[in-house]
Amino acid sequence: MGESRTELINWLNDLLGLSYTKVEQCGSGAAYAQVIDSIYLNVPLVKINFAAKHDYEYINNYKVLQETFKRNKIDKPIPVDRLIRCKMQDNLEFLQWLKKFWDSQYGGEPYDPEARRMGAAAPPPPLPGATTVGAARTAASARSAAQPSAARTATSSRPSASSASSAARRPVGAASGAAAARTQVVPNETIQALTAQMDDMKVSVDSLEKERDFYFAKLRDIEILVQERLAIIAEEFPDQEAATPETESLKQIQAILYSTEEGFEVPEGNEVAQDEEEMF
């Protein structure tokens, strides 16, 4: 029977000098890569992002891990699509396999994990569903902004007799002007909370754009590869009319790449040209 989750996490933290608390945090791939490095000492840890927080950053870590498996002839498929979801069961199974592999391959030489990371920080990845620091800061700022406002409202709701009589003698125009001035004043705490919220939203947008660009580049590479292969086939067999299984498969891949959803049709080339002529 394999080690328990607690035993595996303790072993991982002791070996790599980490402070993980859950097996799910291994889903970033950083710890897996350094465990392999403790055996072979040939993993380019400078390419590993130990502070990764997003899927596209995890994928880069697994690319390095896959290259390392290939270099060291480790015949073990890495279920990247499941591991990056940071689910407990998937990462537990992979970590149990990795521990058994380490037990059978590690030579017992002293290993300095921090030196191998060249001093790079290795904070525990965020747990799935955990509140981000920015969101917590925004919520705290909003609460702090609401408390003084509530206190001012409670105080203003109990006017003294003198203030009531003064209000009665005050002209209507002056009273409305004072009220308008009060409504224009925005508490500094509210401004800080909104600013923090905007910063968090900007970080989220930047992360989404990076993830979009990452997957777009992958699809573009596939598109170029298919086009080049079809061109080679056309040159080698110029007189071949019947489609081969390979060309059929390549054209099916192209059909998937160029397919669109209803309502998001790509404009035809002549329409684009016509629009450009109208612009000039």
Give Cβ neighbours of residue 9 (< 8 Å, ≥ 6 apart): 20, 21, 22, 23
Report the interhelical angle of 30-40 vs 5-16 (nearest 10°). Answer: 60
Query: What is the number of residues in the chain?
Result: 280
- Under a CB-based contact definition with an 8 Å cutoff, are residues 135 and 69 in contact? no
Q: How far apart are CA 67 and CA 120, in angstroms?
A: 21
Give the confidence band of 154 by pLDDT, cuts at 50, 70, 90. very low
Q: How far apart are CA 68 and CA 41, in angstroms?
A: 10
What CATH class does 191-258 carry?
mainly alpha
Q: How far apart are CA 30 and CA 180, in angstroms?
A: 57
Q: In this predicted structure, what is the pLDDT of residue 190?
A: 84
Pairwise pLDDT comparison (234 vs 273), residue with the higher score: 234
Q: How far apart are CA 269 and CA 217, in angstroms?
A: 23
Residue-averaged pLDDT of the chain: 78
Mean pLDDT of the 7-30 span: 97
Q: How far apart are CA 141 and CA 192, in angstroms?
A: 7
Give the confidence band of 10 by pLDDT, cuts at 50, 70, 90. very high
Give Cβ neighbours of residue 190 (< 8 Å, ≥ 6 apart): 145
Give the confidence band of 168 by pLDDT, cuts at 50, 70, 90. very low
pTM of the model: 0.49
Mean pLDDT of the 143-154 span: 49
Cα 165 to chain centroid, rounded: 61
Mean pLDDT of the 165-185 span: 53
Checking if the pLDDT of 88 tops 90, the result is yes
Query: In the 8-state DSSP scheme, what is residue 86?
Result: T
- Under a CB-based contact definition with an 8 Å cutoff, are residues 152 and 200 in contact? no
Give the confidence band of 138 by pLDDT, cuts at 50, 70, 90. very low
Give the confidence band of 158 by pLDDT, cuts at 50, 70, 90. low
Give Cβ neighbours of residue 255 (< 8 Å, ≥ 6 apart): none
Q: Among 112-126, 153-167, 197-211, 230-244, whose mean pLDDT is lowest? A: 153-167
Q: How far apart are CA 85 and CA 64, in angstroms?
A: 18
Proportion of the chain above pLDDT 90, given as a percent? 43
Checking if the pLDDT of 162 tops 90, the result is no
- Under a CB-based contact definition with an 8 Å cutoff, are residues 246 and 226 in contact? no
CATH for 5-117, options being 3.10.50.40, 3.40.50.300, 1.10.418.10, 2.40.110.10:
1.10.418.10
- 267-278 per-position pLDDT tens digit: 454 444 444 444
DSSP H or E run through 70: helix 55-71
Q: Among 61-70, 109-118, 122-131, whose mean pLDDT is lowest? A: 122-131
For residue 101 the two structure tokens come to: 């592999």
For residue 61 the two structure tokens come to: 């870590």
For residue 165 the two structure tokens come to: 């009589």
Q: In this predicted structure, what is the pLDDT of residue 164?
A: 47
Proportion of the chain above pLDDT 70, given as a percent? 70
Q: How far apart are CA 156 and CA 166, in angstroms?
A: 15
Mean pLDDT of the 15-44 span: 97
Q: In this predicted structure, what is the pLDDT of residue 132?
A: 42
Q: In this predicted structure, what is the pLDDT of residue 136?
A: 45
Which string of DSSP letters, residue by residue, matches 193-229? HHHHHHHHHHHHHHHHHHHHHHHHHHHHHHHHHHHHH
For the chain, which residues make up each domain, given as ranges? 5-117, 191-258
Mean pLDDT of the 10-18 span: 97
Express the helix, strand and coil content of the chain in percent, nearest 5 each.
Answer: 70, 0, 30
Mean pLDDT of the 234-238 span: 74
